[in-house]
Amino acid sequence: MEKKEQESLYSTIRSFVGRWWNGSELFPDPAGRPPFSAHSLSLSLFAQAQGVLCDVFDGLWYVTALSVGPVMENSLDCARDSHFPLQLFELGHLRSLSIFSCFSDPARHPLESLEARSNRGLTGEVPAAIGALNKLQSLVLEENKLSGELPHELGELSKLRRLVLSGNQFSGSVPASLGSAMSELLILDLSRNALKGLLPPAAGGLRSLVKLDLSSNLLGGVIPAALGELRSLTLLDLRNNNFSGGGEIGSFPWASLENLSAVGLSNTFLGGEIPAAIAGLKGLRLPAVGALYLNRNNLSGRLQFSSEFYRRMGTRFAAWGNPNLCYAGGGGTTRR
């Protein structure tokens, strides 16, 4: 077994069962070394009794299954302060993970950050039990292959400050539980999934939110006016959705989001005339900052922005792909 594989395994087991476990009974190889011998077989059987199963790849042992908790008679029990180890994701051949009776006392669980990024072999659903991690401040499950519906219990993570679930295969609707109970949430990123349905008005209760990214989903209906209550918001990205449910861009209370500096509304099927309140957003008036993307919609009328606005925004402003939208350029009115 490679040293890195062994270190990841040992660290993972200690995270679950306690630092007292040093692997001395399994040293130097938790499952022996190929070719097989009586010694390697005895070590393999001992490792299996402790919940570790290995297989040979390219002449070396790698962990393929790990069971923690009282799964078998001789399995290792979890410690009272057990925590989910990030080293688990370094076990690149792991196909099966069983955790039993490890996190049965969530009120005592100290986990504050749980992150898993760019693990294309990480599949399955987010369990409802995640809501029991009531001290969690950061949950980042980004660029994996997680699927299924987002559990309602996410809304029970009242200490959460960052929730990033982007780049997966989640379906269903945005949970209505993501609301006022999550008063400390600063970042909500559910982009690049397959979420559909209406955006719940309860999201307007996330009063501390500074970044809301729901881009590249299948959301529909109208943009709820309740989002106008997010007065700390600096980034709102709703690109690549289908808000064609009768709403117009001017019906949203843009003036209340005075701190917005980046707005992504391209390819959302929005219609109507662009309100002057968008041009008046304080964040878009600051030098060298701000972005406004309105391209590929059904917007109409005439752009009311000043020539200074266009000069300052440059490529950070886009309104092309709106056949009925015009702007004053040069000496006349031009289609944008």
pLDDT in tens, the chain (336 residues): 888 888 888 888 888 888 777 765 554 455 544 444 433 433 443 444 467 888 888 888 888 888 887 766 656 778 877 777 777 778 888 887 777 777 665 555 677 888 888 888 788 899 888 898 888 999 999 999 999 999 999 999 999 999 999 999 999 999 999 998 999 999 999 999 999 999 999 999 999 999 999 999 999 999 999 999 999 999 999 999 999 876 689 999 999 998 999 999 999 999 999 988 887 787 776 655 589 999 999 999 998 788 888 888 889 999 999 999 997 654 444 455
| CA separation for the pair 138, 187 (Å, rounded) | 10
User: Is residue 16 in a domain?
Assistant: yes
Number of structural domains in the chain: 1
CA distances (Å), 232 to each of 91, 182, 256, in order?
41, 15, 10
Let me know if 3 is exposed, middle or buried by CB neighbors in 10 A (0-12, 13-18, 19+). Answer: exposed
DSSP 8: H
Burial readout 274-290 (b: 16 or more C-beta within 10 A, e: otherwise) = bbeebbebebbeeeeeb
User: Is residue 28 in a domain?
Assistant: yes
User: Is residue 311 in a domain?
Assistant: no
User: Is residue 52 in a domain?
Assistant: yes
User: Is residue 282 in a domain?
Assistant: no
Adjacent-strand bridge partners of 318: 293
Adjacent-strand bridge partners of 250: none
User: Is residue 36 in a domain?
Assistant: yes
pTM check: above 0.95: no
Residues spanned by the domain of 99 = 1-104
User: Is residue 159 in a domain?
Assistant: no
User: Is residue 269 in a domain?
Assistant: no
